[in-house]
């Protein structure tokens, strides 16, 4: 630690040190994510744990001052997340499921608020015997408990390539959740003012502030969606489409910050407008943005962990935090279930949507900071410490609940591309384990019979001990029939080609396909292992492509059936 301080690593005085720090955060976060993935834990937890280790609660490699300097990265990540969430919310989904989405948002948000508030108020009154203070603190904490962090939740859905109605519902809920949290917070702070004798801000002012943030974010996002649509007629190359789209997202984020609007909401409306105005052309844009974004996400979640602190934890605050966690969790589960049941949602959505809503982050912490500036230090310290402490807990455990929910709903892996699907396979998953083979002593008539019974263009040749000896293609047979005149005397051994390349069943499919590409062939023989020549299977690229296409279609149909 002294060495790090000696080279001035954490000082934001120079761009070089900042860039060095950013690089270390991304690399360390990536390594942490890989470790947690091997433990079957969502990678976002790895990012946050790395942040905890090097942040304020750990080694303090990243100071609070440095995090503040690098806050634009946080805004950038939230803006991209909002934009991509918006891209999933097409108008036909709202026509079919809009009632469900809004009912569940209201249910889960009010559920947390209505359970956390009275439980916290009861404990505070028993602990302090101050009724007004108990109500003021509990109603503000209850309102903050309604907020759900979209970043962690969406990251898990992307990591596991989920698709289906639960995924769609959760994306819509976490996107719309901000608006409800802001509404409840405005209501709660005014009630708290009445109990502690402050009436500096009227309810009408709070309503106006909420309306301004919501309508302003919507207007800003819609405007930039129209700008992107108009610009698409001039953007035909990838190298122009991505930077222009990222530039518009950054401008949206910047104006949202200047105008004091919610970044996620404005970016989400930008995405919604884009996907509905230009549904076909926008698909490529969203894919490009997704591929560009991973380093930004890594940095964002590392900073989430780095800024979390566990100071000022008195016994009373620990009890309030436990009440908050239990009440909020049950409130989200019960509220989401009631909203889903009331609106006629599917069984999977009713049973599992609440489990996807435990995480809290930027919105909750932001509201707690706003509360700290509005109320006395006595109230502010309790609110900030409770929210910060519970944020740490739910950020660590929440992603695993999301994974569990989408796994139980059967939606994991239903949104894979062909490239991603190939990466999940080994040769043994797609090879023909009983391919038609030709014996080395087979005469031409037997070879032709084998060819006539299958649609392969190449066939492995094996000897009497079933060991791979070579291969014969249609070209060799054609050459014999048209040129030699000795077809009755030739055996398979005489016309076969020597084996140029082999693979094994345990080889990753991607690697085997690359081998075929390098040797300019569309087939490869699989042997039992690298030391054996015993034939285990046969891989034909045309057959592989057919199997991949069938699997992708099957997954899409399953997802569409779920939706």
Q: How far is CA 549 from the centre of its chain?
A: 24
pTM: 0.72
d(CA 341, CA 316): 37
Q: Measured between alpha carbons, how far is 88 from 91 in angstroms, rounded to an integer?
A: 10
Burial of 254: CB neighbours in 10 Å, binned 0-12, 13-18, 19+: middle
Q: Which pLDDT does position 7 carry in this prediction?
A: 38
Are 93 and 281 a contacting pair, CB within 8 Å?
no
Domains in the chain (CATH in brackets) are: 49-415 (1.20.1530.20), 423-562 (3.10.580.10)
User: Which helix (H) or strand (E) segment is 527 a member of?
Assistant: strand 523-527
Query: What's the confidence (pLDDT) of residue 372?
Result: 66
282-286's contacts with Cβ under 8 Å and 24+ in sequence apart are: 282/87, 284/238, 284/241, 285/228, 285/241, 285/242, 285/245, 286/84, 286/87
Distance, CA of 497 to CA of 554 (rounded, Å): 38
pLDDT of residue 561: 59
Q: Give me the residues of the chain with pLDDT under 70, please.
A: 1-16, 197-207, 209-210, 236-239, 309-313, 362, 369-370, 372-374, 481-489, 559-563
* pLDDT value, residue 1: 34
Locate 190 and state its tokens: 């005014």
């Amino acid at each position: 630690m002294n060495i790090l301080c000696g080279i001035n690593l954490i000082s934001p005085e120079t761009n070089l040190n900042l860039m060095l720090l950013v690089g270390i955060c991304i690399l360390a976060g990536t390594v942490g994510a890989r470790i947690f993935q091997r433990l079957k834990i969502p990678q976002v937890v790895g990012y946050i744990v790395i942040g905890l280790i090097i942040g304020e609660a750990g080694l303090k490699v990243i100071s609070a001052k440095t995090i503040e300097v690098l806050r634009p990265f946080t805004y950038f990540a939230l803006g991209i997340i909002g934009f991509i969430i918006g891209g999933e919310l097409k108008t036909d989904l709202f026509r079919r499921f809009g009632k469900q989405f809004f009912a569940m948002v209201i249910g889960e948000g009010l559920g947390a608020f209505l359970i956390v508030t009275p439980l916290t108020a009861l404990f505070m009154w028993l602990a302090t015997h101050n009724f007004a203070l108990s109500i003021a603190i509990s109603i503000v904490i209850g309102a903050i408990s309604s907020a759900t962090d979209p970043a962690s939740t969406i990251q898990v859905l992307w990591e596991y390539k989920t698709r289906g109605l639960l995924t769609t519902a959760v994306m819509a809920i976490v996107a719309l959740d901000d608006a409800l949290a802001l509404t409840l917070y405005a209501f709660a702070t005014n009630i708290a003012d009445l109990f502690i004798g402050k009436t500096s801000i009227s309810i009408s002012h709070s309503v106006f502030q909420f309306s301004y943030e919501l309508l302003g974010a919507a207007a800003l996002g819609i405007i930039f969606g129209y700008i992107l649509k108009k610009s698409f007629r001039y953007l035909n190359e990838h190298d122009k489409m991505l930077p222009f789209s990222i530039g518009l997202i950054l401008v949206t984020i910047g104006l949202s910050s200047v105008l004091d609007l919610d970044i996620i909401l404005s970016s989400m409306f930008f995405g919604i407008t884009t996907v509905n105005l230009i549904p076909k052309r926008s698909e490529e844009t969203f894919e490009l943005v997704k591929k560009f974004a991973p380093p930004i996400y890594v940095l964002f979640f590392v900073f989430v962990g780095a800024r979390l602190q566990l100071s000022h934890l008195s016994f009373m605050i620990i009890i309030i935090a436990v009440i908050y966690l239990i009440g909020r969790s049950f409130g989200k589960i019960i509220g989401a279930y009631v909203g889903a049941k009331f609106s006629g949602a599917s069984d999977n959505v009713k049973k599992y949507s609440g489990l996807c809503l435990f995480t809290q982050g930027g919105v909750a912490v932001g509201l707690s900071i706003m509360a700290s500036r509005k109320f006395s230090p006595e109230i502010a310290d309790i609110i900030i410490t409770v929210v910060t402490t519970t944020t740490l807990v739910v950020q660590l455990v929440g992603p695993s609940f999301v994974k569990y929910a989408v796994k139980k709903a059967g939606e994991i892996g239903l949104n894979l591309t062909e490239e991603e699907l190939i990466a999940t396979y080994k040769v043994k998953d797609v090879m023909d384990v009983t391919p038609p083979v030709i014996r080395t002593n087979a005469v031409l008539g037997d070879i032709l019979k084998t060819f006539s019974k299958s649609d392969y263009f190449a066939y492995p040749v094996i000897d009497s001990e079933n060991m791979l000896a070579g291969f014969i293609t249609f070209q060799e047979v054609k050459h014999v029939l048209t040129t030699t005149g000795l077809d009755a005397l030739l055996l398979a051994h005489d016309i076969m080609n020597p084996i140029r390349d082999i693979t094994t069943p345990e080889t990753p499919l991607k690697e085997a396909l690359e081998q075929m590409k390098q040797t300019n062939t569309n087939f490869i023989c699989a042997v039992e292992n690298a030391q054996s020549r015993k034939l285990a299977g046969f891989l034909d690229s045309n057959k592989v492509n057919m199997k991949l296409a069938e699997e992708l279609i099957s997954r899409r149909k399953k997802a569409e059936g779920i939706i």
